Amino acid sequence: MPELPEVETIARTLAGEVESRLIQAVEVLDESAVEPEAEAFSALVLGRRIARVDRRGKLLLLHLQAGGGKDGGVVAVHLRMTGRVLALPLGENPVRPRVVLTLSDRGGGALQLVFSDVRRFGRMHAFAPGVGPGSIERWPFYQNLGPEPLGMTAGEFRERLAPHGKKSKARLKALLLDQSVLAGIGNIYADEALFRAGIRPDAVAGAVSARRLDRLFAAIQAVLAQAIAENGSSIRDYRDAFGNAGAFQNSFRAYGRAGQPCLECAAPMRSIRVAGRTSTYCQRCQTS
């Protein structure tokens, strides 16, 4: 499942290809891939220009521009399990496309922006401009997103995970995965950061010292920055906008390594379930 570094990589690779192009045609091949329904979705995006591509949490955002340079709303792509967004030359046949946007020629040929998704859990949501009804600002999922882990301080991080004066009984990993606490972290980067910080995934957040929470925050930032630099992790389906795989899977120290020797101490890595997710950790190197 694409997490913050993968979506960041898609946004960066896509931006150079699609920014400033006009959406000339909209083809919805799978009705369940879009919100609102196909006709309303098309009306919101057709004829708009893609002004900017970026990311919020695990959402890929296409910021649109209407005539006269006015705000044209936003398309938010939620990739979920197996979603991909690719920029392909017009005429190339994409694999299992669900939505195809034909983009104008900017010099060098027209393009198609293809949303494909084998498992079909992903969505493309189109939103109206501004901040009123139908805009992204009124979308509860978007409103509830927590801060970006690469855009906050250690103090803010501690306050969100273990609020001062409250003894949080939640497990640390459950909080890291909760998109309303922090936006963008999933199973891979939670396991990797906890391993690097030496903290068990099932540690009770309120019982972890401030010093160790600071270490976890530093590990989260370092792991995310390294993964972005390596274009994300490709385990199964993730690819960037050119169809290229990432390389951070070669740097995994915890995720998916249950039963294999710990890279620090050689003890076999263990797995437990925390917040309904398989979590891999070292019983010697990681403590509560």
45 vs 285 by CB, closer to Zn ion: 285
215 vs 239 by CB, closer to Zn ion: 215
Please state the closest distance from residue 264 (CB atom) to Zn ion, in A.
Answer: 4
What is the rounded CA–CA span in Å between residue 187 and residue 280?
A: 10
What is the rounded CA–CA span in Å between residue 81 and residue 232?
A: 15
39-73 residues labelled b (16+ CB within 10 A) or e (exposed): eebbebbeebbbbebebbbbbbbbbbbeeeeebbb
162 vs 193 by CB, closer to Zn ion: 193
Residues identified as active-site? 2-3, 58, 277
The H-or-E segment that residue 112 falls in is strand 111-117
Cα diameter, the chain: 63
Cis before 129 (ω within 30): no
Q: Binding residues for Zn ion, per CB under 5 A?
A: 262, 264-265, 282, 284-285
90 vs 265 by CB, closer to Zn ion: 265
Please state the closest distance from residue 217 (CB atom) to Zn ion, in A.
Answer: 21
Task: Find out whether 46 and 25 touch, Cβ atoms under 8 Å.
Answer: yes
